[in-house]
Chains A and B, each alone.
Chain A
Amino acid sequence: MAITSIKNLKEFSTNNDRFEGAHTLCPGCAHSMIVRELMNCTDDNLVISSNTGCLEVSTAVYPFTSWDTSWIHIGFENAATAVTGAEAMYKARKKKGTLKDNDAPVKFVAFGGDGSTYDIGFQWLSGAVERGHDFTYICLDNENYANTGGQRSSATPIGATTSTAQAGTHSYGKKEKKKDLVAIMAAHGAPYVAQLAPNKWKSMAKGFQKALETEGPCFINTVSPCTTEWKFDPKDTILLTDLATDTLMFPLYEIIDGHELNILYRPKNVLKVEDYLGAQGRYKHLFKPENKHVIEKIQKDIDEYWTMLQRREEARI
């Protein structure tokens, strides 16, 4: 059941908490906020799987666990398949009547970092969505392989420096554009796809609720600022998220049934991308004169993408 009290943050934050604070994520890591926003938006029983990555290694270190619900981790790439295996078992056991409580609603959720989702786990995610399992996949997009020390992923934006796409005398960092995974997942025909952010917690909770309530495979990409690899002060996580959404570096929107696009957040004042880039260490080198063109390119890409989203929303196709 969806929880209705998502107007008041204080109330919302204490709903049905099934995620213990005693984890070892870095202070200021947005991963835990996103997990809480998911856990607190529903009363339903949850079966959760996680790919290998920061969330997994920080929340289930034997003999401890942060998860007060059913949780499984197998490998770096296969959380989508693991949870859909559990979903298939749920269907089989429901049919056969071998569940302890045959009537209690159960929801299936997989978490992956951008590395495990955009890169190595892409095939498993695509397969699980194609098969139409009833589950929600949530990508914690911190735009790098944080758990292994900040290597580039195909979600890393142009111009960011990472340990494997470094800025240096001959390089401005990552050269390739971020993969548009949201569009790819929408193209799978998933009934609900969205890009959300933890600072806009009401729309995040609503998006999660929609995904949980929609029958079939749903995909959600959430920006998850990483204090360690983006290099900002842990107290500024929400500030960074605000900058990500207000510069439209990370626009928030949903796509229903692969075509109907709705923009979920329209900043009153759209900020220049420099404000976002300047607030973190991984883009510091872009402010050197020789890299000015990279900032211009990023701004141009943002503007074009935003125009495209607005046109698609208006077109209602």
Chain B
Amino acid sequence: MAEKFDLNDREVWDGNYAASQALRQAQIDVVAAYPITPSTPIVENYGAYVANGYVDGEYVMVESEHAAMSGCVGASAAGGRVATATSSQGFALMVEVLYQASGMRLPIVLNVVNRALASPLNVRGDHGDMYLGRDSGWIQIDAFNAQEAYDLVLCAFKIGEDHSVRLPVMVHQDGFITSHTAQNIYPLTDEAAYNFIGDFQPVDDLLDFSRPVTYGAQTEEDWHFEHKAKQHKALMDSRPVIDEVFAEFEKLSGRKYNRVETYMMEDADVVIVGLGSTVETAIVAAEELREEGVKAGVVGIRVFRPFPFDQVREALKGAKAIAVLDRSSPGGAMGAFFNEVSAALYSTDTRPLVTNYIYGLGGRDFSIDEAKRIFKEQQANADAGHITTDIQQFSGLRGPHLGYFQTQRG
């Protein structure tokens, strides 16, 4: 049995340490990992738990991220709890295997500390890597701060390993902003955390020789389509399970999670829709603007995959003008997140005005003032009844204003 780790009711942890403590409490069977900034400390902290007997599973330091995920796939198929962590280029190197993991329905947990993708090389945070994974068939959950990184990693095991789900799960947090900033964290006891997740229950286990299994078979046009349809269904069907796990976690911890988080949305006219730590910045800006009489509200997407289509529509039904914030380079289109939110709103009766802000690339700071400016632009749109600026703009960029997708000005 693993050594007991002493925890206080309140700890001061950064987001990486918080995530690594959740991994320790899950008592994982196999972690196969490779370091990359800014997620490296997750792997290092876990290494320290291994070295000091706080975990009794296997810890395999492989030669690349592609191998890390490959090892995780083999280990998961062999019927036990598996996790790893990565960022950016490491995530990119894993992409091939991410699809293979989800296609084989293996409940691996991946901590993704989001970081920009090169080139140019950049170690700071944006969501380029998150979008690279968005069609890979994984459940994607987003933590806005370090406490949430801890809580949601625990939830991720319980969601992914649920027998009606059996899908891999990523938990995102913002590189440096969340991963390296310390805050008060309220951990569960080891016992409570482990009981919440429960023992791993293998299904179709490579090590059960009474019933040999074949993983990763080939399917051409005769079956591939059906497999992919079923995989999509499994993702969509994970929604109630995610809700149940969040509800159970609330009972245990008092901390409530929703697939879509809403702040001051009861009467909001102007709204920022965002991901990650930006949501908290936008909340502060909205609170300050409320004092000036602006009816500002914030929507944060907690579960990015399966995309909470209905809940996004519901949350935004009363809004007049909204800004969807994409922290990744749009690459010749509207922002990917903008497209998804807009798609959810298009067929609603009360379709609000929607604009797209590209911000914070490569770790560029996103300030409260910037969030306020965005709210104010939305107020101008709401007052005019049409979009008064370009539909897409780069916010916080040095140099000339960039906007390629224009609307007719009134």
Contact = CB atoms under 8 A, between A and B. Distances in A.
Nearest to A64: B217
Interface string A60-98: 111101011111111101100111111111111101101
B62 A81 contact: yes
Given A67-B212, A69-B209, A127-B62, A60 B67 contact: no
Nearest to B56: A95
A89 B216 contact: no
A23 to B, nearest CB: 12
A177 to B, nearest CB: 26
Nearest to B219: A62
B77 A86 contact: yes
B288 interface: no
A62 B104 CA distance: 13
Interface in B201-234: 205-210, 212-220, 223, 227
B217 A86 contact: no
Given A92-B80, A93-B79, A131-B60, A101 B71 contact: no
Most chain A CB within 10 A, of B66, B71, B75, B80, is at B71
Given A62-B223, A88-B58, A95-B56, A70 B206 contact: yes
A291 interface: no
Contact of A93 (B61, B76, B80): B80
B56 A72 contact: no
Contacts, number: 163
A45 interface: yes
Interface string B58-97: 1011111011001111111111101000000000000011
A123 B63 contact: yes
Interface string B327-369: 0000000000000000000000000000000000000000000
A85 B78 contact: yes
A35 interface: no
A85 B207 contact: no
Interface string B149-181: 000000000000000000000000000000000
Contact of A92 (B30, B72, B73, B215): B30
A49 B74 contact: yes
B36 to A, nearest CB: 16
Given A93-B80, A127-B62, A75 B70 contact: yes
A26 B206 CA distance: 28
Given A81-B67, A90-B78, A92-B30, A70 B207 contact: yes
Given A74-B70, A75-B96, A88-B32, A127 B75 contact: no
B29 interface: yes
B104 to A, nearest CB: 8
A209 interface: no
Contacts of B62: 81, 127, 131
B389 interface: no
B70 A85 contact: yes
A84 B206 contact: no
B74 A84 contact: yes
Contacts of A106: 207, 209
B71 A82 contact: yes
B47 to A, nearest CB: 15
B57 interface: yes
Contacts of B80: 89, 92-93, 98
Given A88-B32, A100-B207, A63 B223 contact: yes
A70 B212 contact: yes
Interface string A282-313: 00000000000000000000000000000000
Chain A interface size, as a band, is: 35 or more
B217 A62 contact: yes
A89 B59 CA distance: 10
A100 B209 CA distance: 9
Most chain B CB within 10 A, of A85, A95, A127, is at A85
Contact of B32 (A65, A75, A77, A85): A85
B210 A100 contact: yes
B30 A89 contact: yes
A81 B217 contact: no
B134 to A, nearest CB: 21
Contacts of B213: 70-71
A70 B204 CA distance: 10
A100 B79 CA distance: 11
Contacts of B71: 81-82, 84-85, 88
B217 A60 contact: yes
Nearest 10 Cβ contacts at the A-B interface:
A85-B74, A127-B63, A82-B74, A89-B78, A85-B71, A78-B70, A73-B216, A81-B70, A85-B75, A65-B214
Interface of B: 29-30, 32, 56-58, 60-64, 66-67, 70-80, 82, 96-97, 100, 104, 199-200, 205-210, 212-220, 223, 227
Given A67-B212, A71-B212, 12 more contacts: A62-B227, A72-B214, A73-B217, A75-B97, A78-B67, A81-B32, A82-B71, A85-B30, A85-B77, A96-B56, A124-B66, A124-B67
Interface of A: 45, 47, 49, 56-57, 60-63, 65, 67-75, 77-78, 81-93, 95-96, 98-101, 104, 106, 123-124, 126-127, 130-131
9 contacts: A47-B207, A63-B223, A70-B212, A72-B73, A72-B77, A85-B76, A88-B58, A99-B207, A127-B67
